[in-house]
Homo-oligomer: A and B are copies of this chain.
């Protein structure tokens, strides 16, 4: 990618200049990916998936709503958009294979911001073992990013939210609560503890955990983006079971305990309701146990209590969760 002076804007660079920069970044990173018949740059990309089923999802990230340019660098925002999007295909039991990126930006955006965003995005896609398959650029009032993530899974082997069985163990792979704590730190105008702020800026994803869980007989799986309880409610409802979490099973990092004490809050509220960490939660038959890299945090039950069945609910140490379970738009 060519050097920017730091004073160029997208208006001075022009649409085709930016598209050219994006394509050169993508091409540098995608040399000889197997299966790519036509790479980004034509009307569409073409990829041969050889006997696997395609897993695909889309996410949108809006400046001021999902990220702030004064809280995160362009590289971090690029990495985070890629990570959060690819996490969805992992949560189906798939291996990531590609991503498409559409960005709207004001004409006044510094072109080095755009270049760095693309670099971060492409880097994270590469970490996932995937490739950027296409993109589009437009002018908009605020920065709006849309990512479509693609993965492949053996046909018939995708893991949905609907298969949890009574008696299954609930396992988590990845951190929960760290990003929420980092967000709280940034909202207070602070920049440390760094480990929490970094967790908010770029989630750490094990991109093979979903595929590993699928091969380990996972019965249901979801990625935690809105909050642990909020997202487990999807499994509870779609599988028509009760998800019972035992908070003694959680590994609570010392940084989270210290930050919670400083903020006068309970670290468990971040763990249970904080989003943006993109941990994977899956259910496994008790006979096989949780997959490698997963920690057991609960079990699937009928949730019957005094003769009343609590299907479709999440219980924490046997009690309903009464706080706000996660994040919502338009509320």
Contacts and interface: CB of A to CB of B under 8 A. Distances in A.
B47 A49 contact: no
A142 B139 contact: no
Contact of A161 (B42, B137, B162): B42
A169 B304 CA distance: 73
Interface in A143-189: 144, 146, 148-151, 153, 155-156, 158, 160-162
A254 interface: no
Interface stretch (A69-77, A84-92, A200-208): A84-92
A38 B89 CA distance: 12
Nearest to A146: B146
A291 interface: no
Contacts of A16: 328
Contacts of A134: 56-58
Contact of A56 (B18, B133, B146, B156): B133
B153 A46 contact: yes
Contact of A65 (B46, B103, B140): B140
Interface in A67-124: 88-89, 91-92, 94, 98, 100-104, 107
Interface residues of A, number: 73
A323 interface: no
A127 interface: no
B55 A14 contact: no
Contacts of A257: none
Contact of A43 (B62, B89, B98, B328): B89
Interface in A16-47: 16, 18, 37-38, 42-47
A148 B162 CA distance: 26
A139 to B, nearest CB: 5
Given A44-B57, A46-B158, A60-B138, 20 more contacts: A14-B330, A15-B328, A38-B158, A43-B91, A44-B56, A46-B53, A46-B55, A46-B56, A49-B49, A49-B53, A58-B102, A58-B136, A58-B148, A59-B136, A61-B138, A102-B146, A104-B144, A136-B146, A137-B329, A142-B142
